[in-house]
Amino acid sequence: MGSFSIWHWMIVLVIVLLVFGTKKLRNIGGDLGGAVKNFKDAMAEEKNKPTELPRQGETHGTTIEGEVKEKQQS
């Protein structure tokens, strides 16, 4: 009762094929492969990104838009 034999796995495989069908399993495999490929591409792109952060006080042209509703006196 400890581990499954090869016959147990063959029966499970046959049941899965009967329930889902080969076409649906093929589509799932293709979708999973595409997801893994996209994940690897994103990881490679992230690795090639520069990691240098701007120094304190440097904004590199960042504009913050907003509206002052109430001005406080200090």
The predicted structure's pLDDT at residue 2: 63
Q: Are 25 and 17 in contact (CB under 8 A)?
A: yes
Apex 61 CA angle, 57 and 63, nearest 5:
95
Q: What is the reported pTM?
A: 0.44
More confident: 36 or 59: 36
Give per-residue pLDDT as tens, 43-62: 888 887 776 666 666 656 67
More confident: 40 or 51: 40
The predicted structure's pLDDT at residue 74: 62
User: In the predicted model, what is the mean pLDDT of the chain?
Assistant: 82
